[in-house]
């Protein structure tokens, strides 16, 4: 009886360089130089966004495996768009162009190698692709349709060489021109199952390495590898969303408790490197709605869904939880807990542990030790904390003050409650940034002190408490507005290292990069936040609008056309932020600047008047004309490392305020 090999469904990307022999024959050194430029400016940033597995390099082509069809297509589209833009002014005989084919199907596993018709079909599709183009099978088109902002052209059914059955083929054409670098803001349905993304660039480096060996070029391609610093592939991840637990208590005021259970479970799971966990903001959009798990899976781009209920009565809690496969509706696990209230953290830990076991998630030793570790030893302090968190998220001066009072009560009960200190720092920071405080500088100092205390407590033990990412995030925000950019970046980086699913940690990182003058990288970090939080809050739109504004400013002298396109992108995101929150003053301020850069001065003045009517302090100061006060105020609001950006903002704001 023949040996049985394991099988799996996977997406395959086949790619090669079109006309590579001609390129080498015409200009071997120039070809390598141009490829290195493409690598550093275009491919390397995309490598950071996409994780796959290079299976094979054969002659002038490469085979790359992806766990997600959407990931494979996005990777191909992003690279081809960038290549089209970079080749726009390059003579035809010097262009480096890629051809790509993508298929999805069952593969036979043979150690680290794979085989099967799925690979053969991908290779045939790549051969049918035009230089700079992508061909995909009908199976791929069905899975991706509606999830990405691209158009498929039906090329009909074709009989491929050595493939028994006809295959329906679709083409994705990639236009030339300036790329916006990242995809447009996605609707909820466009959220993808992001089991991280592929390493097309690495395959091309290996491919080119073989190419240069053929021409015996003296330049060692190992230099390219050293400069690229290609990261190791992470383990596969299971994607999961925790829906808001139902409050079954007779008292509707206990809603904060069920919400707190949900959020803590999200945090517990999000610390695990083997899971891809959707952020709180996105899952709470389903609160109070009757939806099928299949719909949740589609809208959030996840395979698994957790749902449950909580009943709190006297000193008892009754919790039900179940794990569901969103694709099939199959209930993989369900459990009922009836415990003392003081066991609430233990219940959360048990649920998380059972879920990881059901999904066969391999835990590290540290994750195993820290599973179920509580934020606080006091149940009452935890309740104060959750009530305060609910109020803080309303973003009003009154609710912010009330939230601060509850966090302080929690700290009185448990002086070691690190996360309460972190949220207390956030209330002072909000008072400072929103100018809700009579003394914003004192509020900013208090935010710094509370963030320091949170970090001190979170780091005190040998195994850091689960509060550490939250403390790092708050410290990062304070350091950013103190213009300590490198320290702020380090705080953001450690926050997402401690919690790989921490969407707001990536959002902080993006904001640091914006003020540091790195808008392109900021957009990539922002996209990582969006991947984890697909139904994202208004300030994600604001970050992206701000990044495109800075990018447009930095390229305004070298490439006016590209600069204008980036200002237009900025307008789109800023208007979306204001659609979600019309009272968010920073978004309107940058919209004024963007409209001014686009020459639409009347619209800029109109937006400035709206800010004045809403009582924006900056507008009153601008109209007052005190230059020193204007500079002090704008410096607080715009802590850029590049003084020219700050000067430009001050100028356009003053002009719009006249």
pLDDT at 550 (0 to 100): 95
- Confidence class for position 636, pLDDT limits 50, 70, 90: low
Report, in this order, helix, strand and coil percent for the chain, each rounded to 5.
55, 15, 30
pLDDT at 511 (0 to 100): 94
Q: Which of 499, 525, 551 is the last residue of a domain?
A: 499
* Distance, CA of 425 to CA of 416 (rounded, Å): 15
| Residue 51 and residue 75 in contact, taking contact as beta carbons nearer than 8 Å | no
The string of pLDDT tens digits covering residues 372-395 is 777 888 888 988 998 998 888 887
pLDDT at 570 (0 to 100): 94
Tell whether 355 is covered by a domain. yes
The string of pLDDT tens digits covering residues 223-273 is 322 222 222 323 357 899 999 998 887 677 778 888 888 988 998 898 888
Which of the listed ranges 206-220, 427-441, 451-465, 626-640 does the model predict with the highest average pLDDT?
A: 427-441
pLDDT at 388 (0 to 100): 92
Question: Can you tell me the mean pLDDT for 471-496?
Answer: 94
Tell whether 58 is covered by a domain. yes
| Residue 436 and residue 387 in contact, taking contact as beta carbons nearer than 8 Å | no
| Residue 358 and residue 332 in contact, taking contact as beta carbons nearer than 8 Å | yes
Query: Could you tell me if 440 and 411 lie in one domain?
Result: yes
* Distance, CA of 431 to CA of 441 (rounded, Å): 10
* Distance, CA of 602 to CA of 61 (rounded, Å): 54
Q: Which domain holds residue 265?
A: 244-370
pLDDT at 191 (0 to 100): 39
* Distance, CA of 473 to CA of 476 (rounded, Å): 5
Q: Which of 199, 228, 257 is the last residue of a domain?
A: 228
Question: Can you tell me the mean pLDDT for 91-116?
Answer: 76
The string of pLDDT tens digits covering residues 306-330 is 998 888 877 888 888 899 988 888 8
pLDDT at 229 (0 to 100): 29
> Could you count the other beta carbons within 10 Å of the beta carbon of residue 284?
18
SS3 assignment for 413-472:
HCCCCHHHHHHHHHHHHHHHHCCCCCCHHHHHHHHHHHHHHHHHHHHCCCCCCCCHHHHH
Tell whether 310 is covered by a domain. yes
CATH code for position 565: 1.25.40.10
| Residue 177 and residue 89 in contact, taking contact as beta carbons nearer than 8 Å | no
Q: What b/e readout covers 241-260, taking b as 16+ CB neighbours within 10 angstroms?
A: bbbbbbbebeeeebbbbbbb
Query: Could you tell me if 221 and 286 lie in one domain?
Result: no
Query: Could you tell me if 546 and 466 lie in one domain?
Result: no
Residue 365 has pLDDT above 90, yes or no: no
- Confidence class for position 200, pLDDT limits 50, 70, 90: very low
Residue 39 has pLDDT above 80, yes or no: no
The string of pLDDT tens digits covering residues 263-306 is 889 988 988 888 999 999 899 999 888 788 888 988 898 999 99
Query: Could you tell me if 431 and 524 lie in one domain?
Result: no
Query: Could you tell me if 73 and 215 lie in one domain?
Result: yes
> Could you count the other beta carbons within 10 Å of the beta carbon of residue 438?
8
Tell whether 482 is covered by a domain. yes
Tell whether 343 is covered by a domain. yes
pLDDT at 222 (0 to 100): 28
Question: pTM to 2 decimals?
Answer: 0.63
The string of pLDDT tens digits covering residues 567-610 is 999 999 999 999 988 878 889 889 999 999 999 999 998 988 88
pLDDT at 592 (0 to 100): 92
Strands 7-17 and 53-58 come out as unpaired
| Residue 54 and residue 197 in contact, taking contact as beta carbons nearer than 8 Å | no
The residue with greater pLDDT, 42 or 343, is: 343
pLDDT at 436 (0 to 100): 83
Extract the tokens encoding 168: 């329906």
Tell whether 509 is covered by a domain. no
Query: Could you tell me if 328 and 270 lie in one domain?
Result: yes
| Mean pLDDT score of the chain | 79
Query: Could you tell me if 142 and 66 lie in one domain?
Result: yes
Extract the tokens encoding 443: 């509020």
CATH code for position 285: 3.40.50.10610
Question: Can you tell me the mean pLDDT for 168-195?
Answer: 47
The residue with greater pLDDT, 54 or 156, is: 156
Query: Could you tell me if 89 and 135 lie in one domain?
Result: yes
Per-residue DSSP letter, 198: -
Which of the listed ranges 167-176, 194-203, 545-554 does the model predict with the highest average pLDDT?
A: 545-554
The string of pLDDT tens digits covering residues 66-81 is 778 888 888 888 888 8
Lowest mean per-residue pLDDT among 209-218, 447-456, 478-487, 581-590: 209-218
Phi/psi class of residue 299: alpha, beta or left (left: φ > 0; alpha: ψ in -120 to 50)?
alpha
The residue with greater pLDDT, 658 or 498, is: 498
Residue 154 has pLDDT above 70, yes or no: yes
> Could you count the other beta carbons within 10 Å of the beta carbon of residue 361?
21
At 99, is the secondary structure helix, strand, or coil? strand
Domain total in the chain: 4
**How wide is the angle at C-alpha 598 spanned by C-alphas 596 and 600, nearest 5°?**
60
Q: Which of 499, 530, 555 is the last residue of a domain?
A: 499
Tell whether 133 is covered by a domain. yes
Query: Could you tell me if 492 and 569 lie in one domain?
Result: no
pLDDT at 406 (0 to 100): 95
Q: Which helix (H) or strand (E) holds 596?
A: helix 585-597
pLDDT at 6 (0 to 100): 62
| Residue 171 and residue 153 in contact, taking contact as beta carbons nearer than 8 Å | yes
Question: Can you tell me the mean pLDDT for 647-658?
Answer: 84
Query: Could you tell me if 170 and 58 lie in one domain?
Result: yes
Query: Could you tell me if 270 and 322 lie in one domain?
Result: yes
Residue 25 has pLDDT above 80, yes or no: no
pLDDT at 206 (0 to 100): 39
Lowest mean per-residue pLDDT among 78-82, 462-466, 506-510, 617-621: 462-466
Give percent of the chain with pLDDT exceeding 70: 80
The string of pLDDT tens digits covering residues 328-340 is 888 888 888 888 8
Q: Which helix (H) or strand (E) holds 643?
A: helix 643-657
Tell whether 236 is covered by a domain. no
Query: Could you tell me if 526 and 490 lie in one domain?
Result: no
Residue 60 has pLDDT above 70, yes or no: no
| Residue 27 and residue 215 in contact, taking contact as beta carbons nearer than 8 Å | no
pLDDT at 58 (0 to 100): 61
* Distance, CA of 522 to CA of 222 (rounded, Å): 29
CATH code for position 99: 3.30.70.1230
> Could you count the other beta carbons within 10 Å of the beta carbon of residue 337?
18
Strands 61-66 and 7-17 come out as antiparallel
């Amino acid at each position: 009886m023949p040996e049985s090999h394991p099988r799996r469904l996977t997406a395959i990307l086949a790619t090669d360089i079109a006309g590579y022999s001609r390129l080498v024959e015409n200009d071997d050194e120039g070809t390598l130089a141009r490829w290195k430029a493409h690598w550093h400016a275009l491919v390397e940033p995309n490598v950071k966004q996409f994780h796959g597995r290079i299976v094979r390099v054969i002659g002038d082509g490469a085979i790359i495996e992806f766990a997600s069809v959407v990931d494979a297509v996005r990777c191909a589209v992003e690279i081809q768009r960038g290549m089209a833009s970079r080749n726009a002014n390059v003579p035809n005989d010097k262009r480096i162009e890629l051809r790509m084919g993508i298929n999805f199907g069952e593969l036979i596993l043979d150690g680290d190698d794979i085989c099967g018709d799925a690979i053969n079909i991908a290779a045939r599709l790549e051969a049918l692709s035009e230089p700079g183009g992508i061909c995909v099978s009908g199976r791929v088109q069905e899975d991706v349709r509606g999830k990405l902002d691209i158009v498929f052209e039906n090329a009909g059914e074709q009989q491929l060489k050595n493939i028994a059955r006809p295959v329906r083929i679709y083409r994705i054409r990639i236009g030339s021109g300036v790329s916006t670098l990242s995809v447009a803001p996605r609707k909820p349905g466009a959220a993808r199952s992001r089991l991280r993304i592929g390493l097309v660039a690495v395959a091309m480096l290996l491919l080119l390495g073989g190419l240069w060996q053929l021409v015996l070029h003296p330049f060692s391609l190992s230099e390219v590898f050293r400069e690229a610093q290609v990261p190791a592939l992470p383990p596969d991840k299971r994607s999961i969303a925790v829906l808001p637990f139902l409050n079954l208590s007779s008292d509707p005021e206990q809603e904060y408790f069920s919400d707190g259970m949900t959020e803590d479970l999200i945090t517990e799971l999000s610390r695990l490197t083997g899971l891809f966990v959707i952020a709180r903001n996105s899952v709470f959009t389903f609160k109070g709605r009757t939806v099928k798990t299949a719909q949740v899976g589609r809208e959030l781009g996840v395979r698994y869904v957790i749902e449950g209920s909580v009943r709190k009565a006297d000193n008892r809690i009754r919790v039900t939880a179940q794990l569901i496969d969103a694709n099939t509706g199959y209930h993989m696990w369900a459990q009922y807990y009836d415990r003392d209230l003081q066991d609430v953290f233990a219940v959360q830990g048990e649920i998380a542990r059972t879920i990881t076991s059901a999904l066969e998630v391999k835990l590290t030793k540290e994750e195993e030790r820290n599973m179920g570790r509580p934020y606080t030893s006091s149940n009452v302090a935890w309740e104060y904390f959750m009530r305060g968190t609910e109020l803080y998220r309303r973003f009003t001066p009154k609710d912010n003050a009330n939230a601060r009072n509850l966090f302080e009560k929690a700290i009185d009960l448990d002086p070691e409650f690190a996360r309460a200190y972190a949220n207390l720092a956030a209330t002072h920071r909000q008072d400072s940034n929103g100018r809700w405080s009579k003394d914003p500088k004192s509020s900013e100092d208090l935010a710094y002190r509370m963030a320091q205390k949170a970090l001190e407590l979170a780091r005190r033990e040998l195994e850091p408490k689960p509060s550490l990412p939250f403390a790092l995030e708050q410290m990062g925000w304070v350091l950013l507005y103190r213009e300590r950019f490198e320290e702020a970046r380090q705080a953001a980086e450690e926050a997402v290292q401690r919690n790989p699913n921490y969407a707001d940690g990536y959002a902080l990182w993006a904001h640091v990069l914006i003020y540091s003058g790195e808008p392109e990288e900021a957009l990539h970090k922002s996209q990582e936040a969006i991947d984890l939080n697909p139904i994202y809050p208004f300030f994600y739109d604001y970050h992206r609008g701000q990044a495109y504004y800075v990018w447009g400013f930095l390229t305004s002298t070298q490439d006016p056309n590209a600069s204008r396109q980036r200002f237009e992108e900025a307008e789109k995101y800023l208007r979306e932020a204001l659609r979600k929150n019309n009272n968010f003053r920073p978004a309107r301020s940058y919209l004024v600047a963007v409209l001014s850069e686009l020459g639409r001065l009347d619209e800029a003045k109109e937006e400035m008047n709206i800010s004045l009517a809403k009582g924006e302090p900056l507008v009153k100061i601008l109209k007052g004309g005190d230059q020193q006060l204007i500079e002090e105020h704008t410096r607080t609001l715009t802590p850029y490392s590049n003084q020219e950006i700050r000067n430009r903002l001050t100028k356009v704001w003053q002009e719009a305020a006249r």
